[in-house]
Amino acid sequence: MFTAFNRVIKSGFIGFWRSGWLSLATIFMLMLTLFVLAGLGFMVRSADYLLMTLQEKVDVSVYFKPEVEEGRMLRVKEQLLLVNGVKDIEYVSRDEALARFRDQHSQNEVIMQSLEELGENPLEASLNIRAHEAAQFDAIAAFLENKNYENDIDKVSYTQNRDAIQKLAAITRAVRKGGLVVVAVLAAIAILVSFNTIRLAIYAMREEIGVMRLVGASNWFIRGPFFIESILYAVIASALTLGIWWPILQKYSPAFDRILPGLHLFSYFTSNMLLFAGGMVGVAILLSVVSSAIAIGRYLKV
């Protein structure tokens, strides 16, 4: 049993080496598939990140009239926190708002001067509400339109850009859905192409497989070396694909960061290297082993 196992492995390596161009072609097709799949993965990751940052940016600010007491505003905050879909709320007092304003405009003398001349703090206290999703703003809106607070609230800022925010959210969701369809179609094409390449490689070996049967080889003794070859294809193709993505991401990751700050594709890639390597080897082995197993089966019926 052990000798047979050794023979299968040895003959798998020899077959891999002697198949030459056929091995290269198969590896190349597998690489192409893996490259496309990984690329699609990065795309999905970027789209997700875009959606996430958009949602982070979506917020509603409630400005209170100057005469409203701090305690009353904090009660509103407590109650708002109970509304479904609210992620967090930041309370900015009048003094705090002034301090931030001064900080932001410390370079602008005209503004600073007019502020001095005014003498008193012109800014209002506010609550900055962040929601989990743009769609949940309706619930927050309904809460704020409540008669109880009508006299306290000066203005709610979402009224100006709510439509834009919701449209943007709808678009990103649609893009993501459509993107998944595109991803699925491209992945299916890539997988079919490598499946066919491997089937052709086995087709070229069909007579040999028949001869092996006639010489008295059992099915697993014939399949074994092809199985080993398939694993070699998968491992080499995965290693090469990682080797191609590495410099590409290293070079272009900063460019992507300028469009989507904080995306950091390259560090995402390197810190998840094990996951990528494992995933690629897994997909490639599944592809090559399953395709060759199916293809060989047809020629074992001698």
Partner 1 sequence: MIIFDHVTKTYGKKVKALDDVSFEIHNHEFVAFVGKSGAGKSTILKLLIGEEHPTKGSVMLDEVVVSQIHEHQKPALRRRIGSVFQDYRLLPQKTVQENVAFAMEAAGRAQKEVDRDVPRVLDLVEMKDKAKRFPHELSGGEKQRAAIARAIVNRPEILIADEPTGNLDIFHAWDIIKLLLKINALGTTVLLATHDYEVVNALKRRVVTLEEGRITRDEEKGKYILSDK
Q: According to the binding rule CB under 8 A, does residue 272 interact with partner 1?
A: no
Identify which range of 1-9, 114-122, 136-144, 187-195 contacts partner 1 by CB under 8 A.
1-9
Answer for which of 207, 254, 272, 278 binds partner 1 (CB under 8 A) is 207
Answer for which of 218, 250, 267, 272 binds partner 1 (CB under 8 A) is 218
Answer for which of 82, 118, 181, 214 binds partner 1 (CB under 8 A) is 214
Residues 6+ apart with CB under 8 A from 119: none
Answer for which of 27, 38, 123, 212 binds partner 1 (CB under 8 A) is 212
Q: Hey, which residues between 6 and 65 contact partner 1 (CB under 8 A)? A: 7, 15, 18-19
Q: According to the binding rule CB under 8 A, does residue 4 interact with partner 1?
A: yes
Identify which range of 121-129, 159-167, 205-213, 248-256 contacts partner 1 by CB under 8 A.
205-213
Q: According to the binding rule CB under 8 A, does residue 277 interact with partner 1?
A: no
Q: According to the binding rule CB under 8 A, does residue 293 interact with partner 1?
A: no
Q: Which residue type sits at 16?
A: F
Residues 6+ apart with CB under 8 A from 40: 183, 186, 187
Q: According to the binding rule CB under 8 A, does residue 211 interact with partner 1?
A: yes
- Nearest by Cα to 256 from 269, 267, 265, 246: 265
- Shortest reach from residue 8's CB to partner 1, in Å: 9
Using N-to-C axis directions, what is the helix angle for 2-19 and 219-259, rounded to 10°?
Answer: 60
- Shortest reach from residue 18's CB to partner 1, in Å: 5
Query: For 124, which DSSP code?
Result: P
- Shortest reach from residue 258's CB to partner 1, in Å: 53
Given the complex with partner 1, which of 216 and 262 has the nearer CB atom? Answer: 216
Given the complex with partner 1, which of 26 and 33 has the nearer CB atom? Answer: 26
Residues 6+ apart with CB under 8 A from 284: 30, 33, 34, 233, 234, 235, 237, 238
Q: According to the binding rule CB under 8 A, does residue 255 interact with partner 1?
A: no
Q: Judge residue 83's burial from the number of C-beta atoms within 10 Å of its C-beta, 0-12 exposed, 13-18 middle, 19 or more buried.
A: middle
Strand stretches in the chain, DSSP E = 59-64, 86-92, 126-131, 153-156
Distance CA 81, CA 87 (A): 8
Q: Which bin fits 65, alpha (ψ -120 to 50), beta or left (φ > 0)?
A: beta
- Shortest reach from residue 284's CB to partner 1, in Å: 23
Does residue 25 contact residue 201 with C-beta atoms inside 8 Å? Answer: yes
Which spans of this chain sit near partner 1 (rule: CB under 8 A)?
Answer: 3-4, 7, 15, 18-19, 207-208, 211-219, 221, 301-302
